[in-house]
Amino acid sequence: MNKRSVRKRPREFGVDHRFLATEEADRKEENEMYLPAITGSGVFTPSETITNAELVESFNAYVDIYNAENADQIAAGDLAAKDYSSEGFIFKASGINQRYVIDKKGILDPNVMHPLLRQRSDDEPSLMAEMALDAANKALAAAGKTAADVDAVICAASNLERAYPAVAIEIQELLEINGFAFDMNVACSSATFGIQAAADMIRSGSIRSALVVCPEICSAHLEWRDRDCHFIFGDVATAVLIERSENAAGPYFEIKSTRCATDFSNNIRNNNGFLRRSRPDGVADRRDMQFMQNGRKVFKEVLPMVSAHIASQMADEGVQASDLKRLWLHQANKSMNDFIGKKVLGRTPEAGEQPNILQDYANTSSAGSIIAFSKYSDDLEDGDTGLICSFGAGYSVGSVIVQKHG
């Protein structure tokens, strides 16, 4: 897609509240709220992959270049030499075998070590919008709906490629949706926070449905020159359509309960922002302008937070561990998921109960739990209960209890 599609019908700004107001009045008389449901999901997967072997070869070539260029300082003890990476180290630390990326050429070039993306004109769809459009159309098709059935678009992602106009509004434009749209960022928890926002609007009657899209170009904010994290992220986009359950055209997942929580921490941080050029050395090649984390502290502090969060929600909703047929967890690290799964279920999850996709996709930030849900939910039976959970920078954690119907 090189140019924006021409709108084929006149724009009608905002949601048509004439029929919504009538329906809402009827509901108020009956003291009844709408039941939100996930009716469709979709995943955009880039065509290019980077295996651990390719990544290690590139990284180690960079290490050789770096150590050679800084040999005198390293010999004098003024600078530490960089160490090689290995496939064994990567898999043991993460459980990742490969990752999908928008551009592998730049990432694997030891003299570049970041994606090389074409500069698009303002008249072209942005890259994030284009990715989200693909996932959104798949979600709509899965739900048996069209853009005419959608009232809102929420673009929930850990990074957005520009400050404004909102990427969500651009996606709304490309889909020709009459309604409203907005961006939101709660890092890796963005998807579940977006689902809660959409579900609350549907419960209240202010909208009929919403698309929650998560376009993640994580390769662009990863420091590929850092051995401790150079293997973590991949690129992807996901979308879920959330509707009133009564409007579902096929099987759906009723959103029984949502819960979000945050607790400030600097242990996962990225300092890049619009004030960068105004500060000393702001435009320099600084390490803090990309993804940074204190992995040991994150593991130690986030896991108890997430486990307690889920346990509290389940207790309040009367959901027992034996009721959960599926856990779709944030895909950050296999060890973290195994820990949470065991805490939530009270035992080691059986095969299929806690599907992981990070071995193929790596950590895709907010999109990870939705990829797992999209790929591993169709087999559930009517009445089965599952839980979607994401967690990460902030700290933040969001969880959604769903029940299959149909």
Q: What are the catalytic residues?
A: 188
DSSP code at position 119: P
CA separation for the pair 214, 191 (Å, rounded): 7
| Alpha-helix runs per DSSP H in 287-350 | 295-317, 334-345
Distance of alpha carbon 136 from alpha carbon 79, whole angstroms: 48
Sign of the four-CA dihedral 143, 148, 154, 160:
positive
Question: 123-134 burial, b if ≥16 CB within 10 A, otherwise e?
Answer: eebbbbbbbbbb
Q: Three-state DSSP class for 241?
A: strand
H/E stretch holding 73:
helix 71-76
Q: Can you tell me the distance from the alpha carbon of 14 to that of 168, in angstroms, rounded to the nearest whole number?
A: 14
Q: Which of 376, 107, 377, 52 is nearest to 217 (CA)?
A: 107
